[in-house]
Amino acid sequence: MTAPNCQKYTDDEGAAAMRQTAGNLNAAMRLLGVSEATHHRRRLRRIAEEYGDDQRSDHEPEAPNRFRRLVEVTRREPLPFSELCDKLDLSPAKCRKLISDAEAAGVRVQVAHNHVGIEASVPGADVVPVGVAPAVGDAYRCAVITDTHAGSRYAMREQLRDFVNYAYDEGCREVLHCGDMLDGNYRHGVFELTHSGIDDQARDAGETLPQRDGLHYHAITGNHDFTFAEKTGMSVGRHIEAVWRNELGRQDLTFHGDRSAYLRVGGVVVHLWHPKKSPGYALSYQLQKQVEKYTSLKPQILLVGHWHIYCAIAVRGVEAIGVPCFQGGGSAFGKSLGGNPSIGGLILEWRTTEHGTMRDFAIRPRRYYERETIVEVRNAMNGEEVPERVSRPVAVPTKRQPARWSACSGGAS
């Protein structure tokens, strides 16, 4: 029995009617300047907004992907609120709620003068006091690490634990981290991950770095950490702190900025820096160029991450140091260095004068290797130490050259 007011079609007629309806809809969208893909995206967004919150568990964290479109359209420049509503295809009430939820989730949204934008990440130039300054004449020690790349299969976790425990036993109570605490989500490194996502990688970092009485970690974010902020707009450092605090019960981590921060440590000013550029052929080149840029605020110590090298120079009264890493050479970046990164951490020690200048500065590198294999180098100067099976180098014979002066048997030369 056919329901009233319902037209009955044969299979062929029904298919033809559906094609005609779809064609009319596409023609209407083209007339309005709306593409078919845009129409489908808007339809899916409405469904997600209507049903997404009801389907999420009470214990499941709010996904930052919800705010990805908001970050994409406001990252380059602030937009008027009305234009933002049009771009997101949201009513003003729903758009205001989205902005409020994004702010609550840690996305750096700025709202002023009826405009909405994303706060730019600017390296800080303020000096932040860290720890207690030593008395005049007393030695101060701190540990320095960088590029730990938590979440990477090439992260050297056991070596990192060993170094931090060693530094603690040597009297260090502050650990300075020069960026790339996490491995991030670069596309070229997706198959190198053991932990995916910012929460899992933050937990991996917290489970690797030792928790000791009185020990505190002071860090900046690096380019790998910042991959989580590029699409979500969140403050990565604050999010890692929250994971340590809420899930691991740890209060011993403080992030001081993105890629750069000035700290007052042990009575002197230390600049933590995670650059974008490579060090160059000469490992000291970028260190020198950075020291030359200091004008009104010049630190006494410059600590640099990102390069996976160890290099130390003294220029213009600044101890500039490229800090070794804790990631093996099998990673994508390690391969770009020829698979031979400098691995390890540093213990820095100095004394301060009554004028605030630094004395007796010393660097104690603690090196590690992916393969702890002894390489024997034999001394060829002492014949007794050269084993018989090792032959001494012999000059390679060359084609005989005519003598420059030849004896003449007769006649004038």
When pLDDT is cut at 50, 70 and 90, the band that residue 104 belongs to is: confident
pLDDT at 405: 52
The mean pLDDT of the chain is 81
User: Is residue 66 predicted with pLDDT exceeding 80?
Assistant: no
User: Is residue 61 predicted with pLDDT exceeding 50?
Assistant: no
User: Is residue 52 predicted with pLDDT exceeding 60?
Assistant: no
User: Is residue 302 predicted with pLDDT exceeding 60?
Assistant: yes
* CATH 3.60.21.10 assigned to 127-368: yes
Rounded mean pLDDT, 58-67: 53
Can you give the residue ranges of every domain in the chain? 11-118, 127-368
Range name among 113-122, 282-291, 322-331 with the lowest pLDDT average: 113-122
The separation between CA 108 and the C-alpha centre of its own chain, rounded to angstroms, equals: 19
Q: Which residue has the tokens 């899992």?
A: 200
DSSP state of 277: S
| Sheet bearing 174-177, strands edge to edge | 253-258, 216-221, 174-177, 139-145, 343-352, 358-368
CA angle at 382 for the pair 379 and 388, rounded to the nearest 5° = 80
User: Is residue 308 predicted with pLDDT exceeding 70?
Assistant: yes
- Under 8 Å between Cβ of 263 and 127: yes
pLDDT in tens, 203-247: 999 999 999 999 999 999 999 999 998 877 889 999 999 999 999
The rounded distance, in Å, linking the Cα atoms of 283 and 200 is 34
Residue 316 is encoded by which pair of tokens?
Answer: 């213009």
pLDDT at 70: 86
The rounded distance, in Å, linking the Cα atoms of 201 and 196 is 7
Residue 86 is encoded by which pair of tokens?
Answer: 């049009």
Range name among 30-34, 170-174, 313-317 with the lowest pLDDT average: 30-34
Task: Select from 150, 153, 149, 145 the least CA-distant residue to 176.
Answer: 145
When pLDDT is cut at 50, 70 and 90, the band that residue 411 belongs to is: very low
pLDDT at 401: 54
Percent of the chain residues topping a pLDDT of 70: 71
Range name among 26-35, 99-108, 156-165 with the lowest pLDDT average: 26-35
Q: Which residue has the tokens 């706060």?
A: 119
* CATH 3.40.50.2300 assigned to 11-118: no
The rounded distance, in Å, linking the Cα atoms of 397 and 356 is 65
